[in-house]
Structure 1
Amino acid sequence: MTIAVLFGSFALFLFLTIPIGIALGLASVVTILYSGSLSIEFLAQGLVTSVDSFPLMAVPFFILAGEIMGRGGVSDRLFNMANSLVGNKTGGFAIATICTCLFFAAISGSGPATVAAIGGIMIPAMVKQGYDKKFATAVVASSGALGVIIPPSIPMVLYGISAMTSVTDLFIAGIIPGLLVAFSLIVYVYFYSKKKGYKGTNEKTSFKGFLLSTWDAKWALFIPILVLGGIYGGIFTPTEAAVIAVVYSLIAGLFLYGEIKFKHLPRIFVDAALTTATILIIVGSATAFGRLLSVERIPAQASELMLSISENPLIIILLITIFLLIVGCFMDTLAAVIILTPILLPIAIDIGYDPIHFGIIMVVNLAIGFITPPLGVNLFVASGISGLSIEHLSKAIIPFFIAMVLTLIILIYIPQLSLYLPELRQ
């Protein structure tokens, strides 16, 4: 009955449109008061101890770095570089948009931030080039999901903490899957553009032009090299890398590009602080919620239930995948990672899945949730930029959803796509 109270109250609070971080906390309070087996101090302790984590400190710094670079002229320069390479091809603008999101994802670590930074530039540009607005908006919304797959990734940091797994290994494991997801989107965009007659620019691809645009974007391109190179080279931890990313972003935005003024910094810091506060409330509440699940032996019961359905690892992982895709429609990605990792990871380990590989499966699954209604955050951000209704955008996003799910299936059945680079590093 306690379990029913926990999930029932949580569902009720979500139905009442209470923010998910608050809903998780309220559901925990209701359950604690109902059961009487725990004191209310349990929730307070969970809220405090869950955010008292050195790896978790990477999250606010990566958010701040993304905010700074998002306003420092990075988006324009990354697009110019991508456009100089593929802009004259069929569907060139759309393909350049995906490539730009891919590069920006290596800076922001956030799906919605990637959509916001790139969408404001690229959706009007594609419409001006003759692309259908629904298609152009869907391209940006789906490409924004790369923000949590390509490292650095905020959900990967939280998964690493929850699973007690190396965040560095998760980051490096996300490179090939992220590139594969981007490639699947590019393939669909190319054939759709060919069908619709979306031609590229009339300009010829110039190696000199590509070099010039790459040189103009050099300070932006150096961020992932600095951050990820330092992490993989063992020079600094992901948390230290996040701090370095902030310092470098400030130098690039204020002095190297000069598109950020000192008067802009207070607004940037406030926006980053608001985003961080929202995330940390979710993290604290979700951790307390997850501890209640552990007290009620939910992970053990879920494992027993799954294994009673089938002993075939492929069937079980398929059931988990379907479950995560459904969860992604209704639950915030960060909360889902914290709550579900302690439940699902033991099942995955029991059927022979590596924690790193399962982490990638989980993150890609929940990344798809960014483009699935009713909660798809990327849809709302892209809709706000383009002015399209969620209903119209949800229909346009279906082919991109299918492409990402097919890629996810490939990642599930070929573990080496996720594990090759981490194993190569060891």
Structure 2
Amino acid sequence: MFNAINKFPLAAIPFFILAGNIMETGGISRRLVEFAKSLVGGVQGGLPMTCVLTCMIFAAVSGSSVATTFAIGTILIPALIKHGYPTTWAAALQATSAELGVIIPPSIPMILYGVSAEVSIGELFIAGFGPGILIGLALMAFVWVYCRIKGWGKNDGDGRLGVGKATWQAGWALLMPVIILGGIYGGVFTPTEASAVAVFYALVVGLLIYREIKLADLAIILRKSVLSSAVIMFIIANAGLFAFLITRAGVPDAIGHWLEDVLKTPAYFLLGVNAALFLIGMFIETSAAIIVLAPILAPVAMHFGIDPVHFGLIMVVNLALGMITPPFGVNLFAACTVARISLDRMIKDLIPFVLVILACLMVITYVPGLSLGLRDLVYAR
């Protein structure tokens, strides 16, 4: 169990969680919302599109979907309800949009996959941009069409700031993903070191520039971050023990040989794995599923000639669906908490969003260039 968590890249997890909580308290997330609203809020359905775009930007520094749900949802779910959107639909939109928090880098599940499958975390991060942007654009297109059909959001542009003013006010917040991602791909620091830089930058901006964090708030932020980090580390430790036991029992090899015998081609293999991961993600927490399954499935994928980075993106996107599907979707519970509704009330509104993500998953699965094109360009492959 100790060996499972005694890995340097895993140190990024508590730091990214802490950075997300600091951003939520320090006014950074609110300024990102105003910036996104200035860009897309002027059209019919602009407020739901603002939700998606803000989650895309916030994802570039948080690495966590739950942190994204609370940081953005506490601002936008009440705003959506105020503008006449159904509470259940607003919660479903926020839960789905927050899934981008683990797809657009930096991403905690990508770190876990990289450690478990021994794949470059930097390559996973850069490969995540294509799928993340695809899903974000697909969600914005869907809500734009859906709102026009329903007649919602005709006054969403009321009270929005101009692009110039919103950009100026959010300047320090927008600089954060530039520093983090630019530092990683510029070779200034590793993804793990970037997580510490994210905390430092968010703290400086929240305390000294925006001045919305008081010293008394730090204890609350730290407590929340420690609890979230402890839960994830406990899952990793126990999943590591489980992985050790099944490896000693020869289960991964048996599963690998069975998959090779039954699923003869890469296309069938990917289809079968996607179906299995979708079901598994409904009942097993994403982090635990990745730690247990990545060492089993990644070698089989490589046997079929599938790039391990591409396969990692497929796993992350698919298992992230488990965060917005009953009965154990953590994003659903987070969004329901913010919206103050029960889970069963939002299931009907959630179905179209899940179908959009599934359609994007099929594109990501069978168009590897979407994930690997930028990776190959940056790493000159």
Regarding TM over 0.5, the answer is yes
- Alignment of 1:236 onto 2:189: yes
**What is the Cα-based RMSD across aligned positions, in Å?**
1.4
Give 1:199 deviation, angstroms. 3.0
Contact in 1 for aligned 2:44/2:156 (Cα 8 Å) = no
Is 1:345 the counterpart of 2:302? The answer is no
- TM-score between the two structures when normalised by the length of structure 1: 0.87
Once the two structures are superposed, the pairs formed by residues 14-413 of structure 1 within 5 Å of their partners are: 47-201=1-155, 203=157, 209-413=162-366
Judge conservation of contact 1:90–1:193 (CA < 8 Å) in 2.
Answer: yes
Matched, 1:419 2:372: yes
Which amino acid in 2 is paired with 1:186? Answer: M
Partners in 1 of 2:265 and 2:3 — Cα distance? 38
Spell out, residue by residue over 1:332-391, the C-alpha distance to the aligned partner (whole angstroms, 9 max, x if none). Answer: 000001000011111111111101000000000011111000010011111111122211
Contact 2:336 2:342 in 1 (8 A): yes
Q: Which residues of structure 1 form unaligned runs of 5+?
A: 1-46
Contact 1:193/1:199 (8 A) holds in 2: yes
- CA drift of 1:310 comes to 2.7
Q: TM-score, normalised by structure 2?
A: 0.97
Q: CA deviation at 1:108?
A: 1.2
Report sequence identity in percent.
Answer: 45
Give the Cα–Cα distance (whole angstroms) in 2 for the partners of residues 224 and 55 of structure 1. 19
Cα drift, residue 203 of structure 1: 4.9
- Measured in 2, the distance between the counterparts of 1:172 and 1:56 equals 18
1:88 and 1:200 in contact (8 A); partners too: no
Partner of 1:32: none
Q: How has the CA–CA distance of structure 1 residues 202 and 120 changed in structure 2, closer, same or farther, with 3 Å as cutoff?
A: closer
The separation in 2 between residues aligned to 1:86 and 1:56, in whole angstroms, is 36
SS in 2 for 1:136: helix
Mapped to 2, the partners of 1:403 and 1:184 lie a distance apart of 7
Q: Is the 8 A contact 1:361 1:408 kept in 2?
A: yes
Q: How many Å separate the matches in 1 of 2:164 and 2:289? A: 42
- Distance in structure 2 (CA, Å) of the matches to 1:200 and 1:266: 42
Q: Which consecutive residues of structure 2, in runs of 5 or more, have no partner in the other structure?
A: none
Could you tell me how far apart the structure 2 residues matched to 1:110 and 1:200 are?
Answer: 32
Measured after TM superposition, the shift of residue 204 of structure 1 is 8.7
Task: For 2:285, give the aligned amino acid.
Answer: D
| 1:282-336 Cα shifts (integer Å, max 9, x gaps) | 1111011111111111111111111221312111110000110001100000000
Superposition deviation, residue 58 in structure 1: 1.0
Bigger Cα Rg: 1
| Secondary structure, aligned partner of 1:260 | coil
Q: Distance in 2 between matches of 1:69 and 1:259?
A: 10
Q: How many residues align?
A: 379
* Alignment partner, residue 25 of structure 1: none
Separation in 2, partners of 1:414, 1:337: 22
- The letter of the residue matching 1:347 is V
Q: For the residues of structure 1 that align with 2:254 and 2:240, how far apart are their CA atoms? A: 19
Q: For the residues of structure 1 that align with 2:83 and 2:157, how far apart are their CA atoms?
A: 14
Residue 33 of structure 1 is matched in structure 2 by: none
